[in-house]
Structure 1
């Protein structure tokens, strides 16, 4: 009898231990899934759009300007009333990939679901686990998006989706390495790089959603700013690209505009392996064929400008403004200091067909984000209070023609227009 009792206790103990082990294994697996989802949410830069300035993470309310009007991002915390807490995993996947809400209504493509369409099932599962179990619920409803007619007719997005989106899954390119394919996946899906770096058509659709088209990542325009091509990136090495994504700066440039937030919230948090994969993939793309050479790349052209600035004779109005305000940081050769002051000599931003970005930076200044690998913040002051529109026009014109740069002159009217636009944006 005693032996039977002992055997029973041992069996019960073993069963309890086994159950405990399974429970702990479940906890570990769940924790790992949530952590993976958090990483993928970083790769997707979800927090940037779904967090208002000064607001709680993912609670929405960010004001997004678009050609159709102002939109507000939604609350994607697991709050069951104000957020997505009642979404099942299939409903979550449908919203992320197809832009269809739980109630069946269509989202606007400010949510980059055309790019997210090819996110794998396992990655969607991890994202769902993170947003449901790893994000704090916030009981707050953001402002409601209320576009003017006909854009307020959400049913019309079904026609837009039929015409301009795809349901093709991500397929490995067997001709490429696993590293290139990993970068390709991150760029084409979670990273949604195409949403800014691919030109758009008459329906505001991306002209290409993957690298089967030469339009993909060939550059474009965003909120009036020229956006450079990412195809091949001939002037930058793999190391240059990874440094830019990880720290917001490299030997050629520093981040500005929308890219500042991308580095701050997203790319600086990616693993070295994933950043390397992205860089290798971008370098693998055939370079965009440019209509005209924008920069002579000749030492003679640089030296000609340097001599003019050093001698200080017969200087143009733009050269005078440069010497008095810019030369101390960006140097007489316009090359600045690698990793500190970006080069103006050969810069794509300086020579962009649309000078809005250049004018904006001169007016408002810029600063790099504080990143894990480069915590110091490098700031350029704005000159809106120091230089008038005519002086800024002269300066921008010189920058776009000095050292071998080859871009059109900037008018005083163009500067005035950007100044008024920036002033209106700060009030709004």
Structure 2
């Protein structure tokens, strides 16, 4: 009897130990899965998935955002794990094909509003983390996204296969030759997940990006997007690393503040990245070499400031500047660091096309609220206050004052931008 009790106690002890071990192993598995989902959420932020696949009045990632393109209006899709209207029925292989090749689970082609030419560079590990996140970390939504209905011939999705053959590639990421680990990480984020080239690289006649990595001088050389001149990122010669990090993290720095599409990018994506990745991005951009810059003219800058201070014999543009702009940007045109962007030497001011500057002047702009810079700094729009001739005169002064040397603006250009804003 005593032997039986001893054996029973021993068996119970072993069973208890095995149970504890199993529970511990299960706990470790759950912890690992939670960490993988968290990593996937971070990657989704880095890839700016939220900005395109979410819109006001709908649940996150349920799609419905109207994306204007040269082909027509494309609506983003529901990418929640709903099995009917989302991607809940996708296998991981199908998910990877959509990301890297622009091919849906049913075999049809996506339009390149989805930046699959850039996402082709994603590693298998990052694709897996993203898949796990979207399948297990995102709340399903059965809201159907509006259908994209383009006119002929753009509604023939099979034609995108030919476009992919001619203009896209599904080659994996190749690190810049001779780059250190930080620059390599920055290149992976910029060229791949961040798909910065989608906006900052010029496009060809077929709306194709002309380059996909830093080995090509056209990559990140600037472009045009929905009436905005998109500045080049190669080198960002006048910005320090801290300037680049601040801009991506807060939407403002000592040189500029965000406007246009970049406001959404900072709010939904780059402001959520950690310091190491932001510094890696800055290191990569600066490694690309200095972009050509126009030599500054200090004497002209001081002459403009002195002339505005004296406030005598002013042109219409100068008078409008003093009345509407000088309180924030000051007579020297340098603004206030991290508060009001500088106008002297600003890329948006000196762009070949004045459209982006006119857009901001007419519609205004505001910085996003981010963790590091929660306050929103708005600039009012002057569309209701100034007529086309006045806006043209003011823009002409700003583009030629201080050390700026951009072309004059006429009322017709203002009228065009005003009409585009009315359409929106």
| TM-score bracket for this pair, using the shorter chain length | over 0.9
Structure 1 residues 301-316: aligned runs within 5 Å: 301-316=300-315
Correspondence for 2:120 among 111, 114, 117 = 117
SS in 2 for 1:338: coil
TM-score between both structures, scaled by the size of structure 2: 0.98
SS in 2 for 1:221: strand
Structure 1 residues 326-345: aligned runs within 5 Å: 326-345=325-344
Q: CA deviation at 1:148?
A: 0.3
Distance 1:253 1:180 in 2: 24
Structure 1 residues 109-258: aligned runs within 5 Å: 109-173=112-176, 175-258=178-261
Q: CA deviation at 1:352?
A: 0.6
- State whether structure 2 residue 402 is matched by structure 1 residue 403: yes
| Corresponding residue for residue 420 of structure 1 | 419
| Corresponding residue for residue 89 of structure 2 | 86
Q: Deviations over 1:210-268 (max 9, x none)?
A: 11200000101111100011001110000000000000000110000000000100111
Distance 1:163 1:374 in 2: 43
Q: CA deviation at 1:401?
A: 0.3
SS in 1 for 2:74: strand
Question: 2:176–2:214: 8 Å Cα contact kept in structure 1?
Answer: no
Q: Deviations over 1:76-116 (max 9, x none)?
A: 00000010001011110010111000000000000000010
| Corresponding residue for residue 358 of structure 1 | 357
TM-score between both structures, scaled by the size of structure 1: 0.97
Question: 2:318–2:397: 8 Å Cα contact kept in structure 1?
Answer: yes
Q: CA deviation at 1:3?
A: 2.3
| Corresponding residue for residue 3 of structure 1 | 6
Correspondence for 2:73 among 55, 62, 70 = 70
Q: Deviations over 1:265-306 (max 9, x none)?
A: 011110011101100110110223x4xx54x41220101111
Question: 2:236–2:286: 8 Å Cα contact kept in structure 1?
Answer: yes
Question: 2:118–2:195: 8 Å Cα contact kept in structure 1?
Answer: yes
SS in 1 for 2:193: coil
Structure 1 residues 48-63: aligned runs within 5 Å: 48-63=51-66
| Corresponding residue for residue 346 of structure 2 | 347
Distance 2:254 2:344 in 1: 12
Distance 2:337 2:13 in 1: 69
Q: CA deviation at 1:174?
A: 5.2
Farther off after superposition, 107-116 or 297-306: 297-306
| Corresponding residue for residue 322 of structure 2 | 323
How many residue pairs are counted as aligned between the two chains?
421
SS in 2 for 1:226: strand
Q: CA deviation at 1:11?
A: 2.0
Distance 1:337 1:297 in 2: 19
Correspondence for 1:101 among 99, 104, 123 = 104
Distance 2:144 2:418 in 1: 34
Question: 2:234–2:286: 8 Å Cα contact kept in structure 1?
Answer: yes
Q: CA deviation at 1:167?
A: 2.0
Distance 1:275 1:104 in 2: 36
* Runs of at least 5 residues in structure 2 that lack an aligned partner in the other structure: none
- Root-mean-square deviation (CA, aligned residues, Å) is 1.0
Q: CA deviation at 1:4?
A: 2.1
